[in-house]
A = this chain, B = another copy of it.
Amino acid sequence: MKRPTISDIAAEAGVSKGAVSYALNGRSGVSEETRQRILTIADRLGYQASMAARALAGTRARVIGMALPRPPATLGIEPFYMELISGLEAELSLHGYGLLLQMVPDESEEITCYRSWWRESRVSGVLVCDLRVRDRRVKALGEVGLPAVAIGPPSAAGSLASIWSDDGVSMIEAVEYLAALGHRRIARIGGIPQLAHTAIRTDAFLAVGRRLGLAATIASTDYSAEDGARATVRLMEMAAPPTALIYDNDIMAIAGLSAIREAGLSVPGDISIVAWDDSPICPLLDPPLTALTRDIGAYGRHAARLLLAAVQGAGVKDVHDEPALLTPRGSTAPPRVSDETAV
C-alpha cells in the first residue's frame, strides 16, 4: 500500500502543494470553496501528514518523551506509573501526540537520554518524574532548551513548570488521624530520601509529630518490599516500638504487614498501618489497608496539558493538584490501652 502525500492531493485538486498545506492547516490563503474541496479529497484519500516530514520542516514532532527510572525492584509493582502513563496518554492522544518511553538506570543516563532525544529531534517535550532535592536534570534540560514539565514540588523544579500535590497536608491528615485514634508513637517508612517528595513528607511528618507531642521515628528505604520488611522489623525491635506505621507505598505496607504477623503481632490490634497511594489491592487485603488516595490518572492528564502548553511556547505556571486524601479501612484502630499513655 502506498500512503497518500500532500502532492497527491494537490494533483487531484488541481492546485499547488502550498495551497493544500494552507487548506489543511486552517490558514488563510485559500478560498473557503477550495479549502472544502481539498479537505474532501484529503478525507477520501485517508490522508495524514507524515510526522517525519513535518518534524523536519521545523514543526514539532508531536511526541512527548518520558524517561522512567529502571525498576529498583518496584517500578513494575507500584500501579503509580501505569496509572500516570494512562492519564498522560489519554490527554496526549487527544491532541495527536505520542508518548515515547525509555527506561533509564540512573540520573546521568537520563540526562544523556534527553540530550539524545534533543539531538535526534525525537521529541518535542519531556516529562520529568521523581524530582530530586537538587536535580541535575533541570539544569541539563534548560541548557538544551527542550520544553519540559516536572512532576513534583515546585521547590525542586527550579526553572521548570511543575505539577504537584501537596504531600505535606496529606501527611498531616494521616498523622492527625492516627493521633486522634490515640497513637502516641508512630513511625514513617519513607522512600528514597533524595527524592523531593520524600523530603517533603518527612518534614511534614516530623513537624506535625512535634506539634502533637508524638514520638515520631523515620526509616528510609528504596521502596522495595524487602527494605520495607527490614525497616518494619527494626522498628518493632525498638525499646518503645511505634504503634502505628505509615508506609510510602503499598508494596512496603504489604511486606510490613507480613513481617508484623511473622513477629506474632496483629494488625490493627498491636500495630496500625497506613499505605501511601491507594491501589486496587489495598481494599482486598486482610485487613483492608487504610491508604492515602489520590487520582493519579488526573495527575497525568494535567501534566500532559501543562506540557503541551509548554511545547507550544505558552508561558506555563505550576499546577497544584488535589492532595491525597485518607481512606480509613481496617488496618488502623486505636492502640492497646497499655500503649496509650506511654511516650
Contacts and interface: CB of A to CB of B under 8 A. Distances in A.
Given A99-B100, A100-B63, A122-B51, A225 B284 contact: yes
A64 to B, nearest CB: 10
Interface stretch (A24-32, A75-83, A187-195, A311-319): A75-83
A113 to B, nearest CB: 8
Given A251-B280, A279-B77, A52 B103 contact: no
A93 B116 CA distance: 12
Contact of A120 (B51, B77, B261): B51
A15 interface: no
Nearest to A74: B280
Copies in the complex: 2
A264 interface: no
B102 A101 contact: no
Interface of A: 1, 3-4, 46-53, 55-56, 61, 63, 70-71, 73, 75-77, 79, 81-83, 85-86, 89-90, 93, 98-103, 115-116, 118-122, 143-145, 225, 251, 254-255, 257-258, 261, 279-281, 284-286
23 contacts: A1-B145, A3-B118, A3-B119, A3-B121, A46-B115, A49-B120, A51-B120, A52-B55, A52-B56, A70-B90, A73-B280, A76-B79, A81-B82, A82-B82, A86-B103, A89-B102, A89-B103, A90-B103, A93-B102, A98-B100, A99-B102, A225-B284, A254-B285
